[in-house]
Amino acid sequence: MAKIFIDGDAGTTGLEIKQRLAGKANFELVAIAPKLRKDASAKRDVLASVDVAILCLPDAAAKETAALAETLGGQAPRLLDASTANRVAEGWVYGFPELCRGQAAKIGAARRVANPGCYATGAIALLRPLIDAGLMASDQPLTINAVSGYSGGGRQMIESYEKGEAPPFELYALSLEHKHVAEIVAHSRLTAWPLFAPSVGNFRQGMLVSIPLELDALPGRPQASDLAAALTRHYAGAEHVRVAKAPASGRLDALALNGTDDLELFVFANEARRQALLVARLDNLGKGASGAAMQNLELMLGERIANSE
């Protein structure tokens, strides 16, 4: 029976993972007393007693826990980091199993796994297969637009929306230095920094990530159907990622996958204008956070997390 410790189980992602693990049979959830959660000695003892520690912490605290675990040597648990701290760090495996062939096996064998960011999951899922297939250049000038439910914005943003104090819609990160861009660049195999414009809507969860393309600016001037075919090939057989048919309405509901761990990819096109729009849809709390963590945890444990029934 695997022993699991969630470091930071009071935050949104930590609570979601804890709820998902409730009532499961083949693991033991180990906790630390709230008054001792910042006590390094007490945390070190907990880390030494578990098989996997899931870090649901601010970046600085996640780095501290990872460093503390390293002092345990052979007693150190495997780490699954849900923060931004280690997504492009050396010695950490990126926790997007569908990234490329063999990635799921790397996650399963890894001592340290970094859970992807929600926006990054959508963007990388669209970009990496096209770059690998030679349909997009690694230095392609790109704009990435995205909208998320407010639950991905942390306690202050969540409270602001739930109290009715926030606007219906807002752009943010207008310094153009959003923390997810580094992992998008690294794991999509981009060499040019994309222009990323995230936004928040007045809904709790749900996400759309969209990337507009001029088809004649891409290598070989492909058809939009070539892009869709490359995505379909890449994700053939994937359990949680699928290429979906563009709806005839020309509209897309950001909340349609809420409560699931799925990721849908779309290619909208106007061949007469030689333009395409790539779109990823997901639940920012599902495949964008706790759902991805559960997928990675199962790979690390080498088995499904079974229900107690």
- Catalytic residues, by residue number, are 118
CA distance 244 to 242: 6
Whether 275 and 269 have beta carbons less than 8 Å apart is answered as yes
CA distance 171 to 175: 11
CA distance 122 to 126: 7
Number of helices (H), then strands (E), in the chain: 9, 13
H/E stretch holding 19: helix 12-21
What are the backbone angles phi and psi of residue 179, rounded to the nearest 5°? -70, -15
3-state secondary structure of 92: coil
CA distance 267 to 212: 10
DSSP 138-177: TT---EEEEEEEGGGGHHHHHHHHHTT-S-SEEE--TTS-
| Cα angle: 229, vertex 193, 280; to 5 degrees | 35
CA distance 123 to 105: 22
Q: Give me 147's structure tokens.
A: 């909208």
> How many CA atoms lie within 13 Å of 33's alpha carbon, on the beta-carbon side?
6
CA distance 64 to 84: 13
292, amino acid identity: A
N-term to C-term CA, the chain: 16
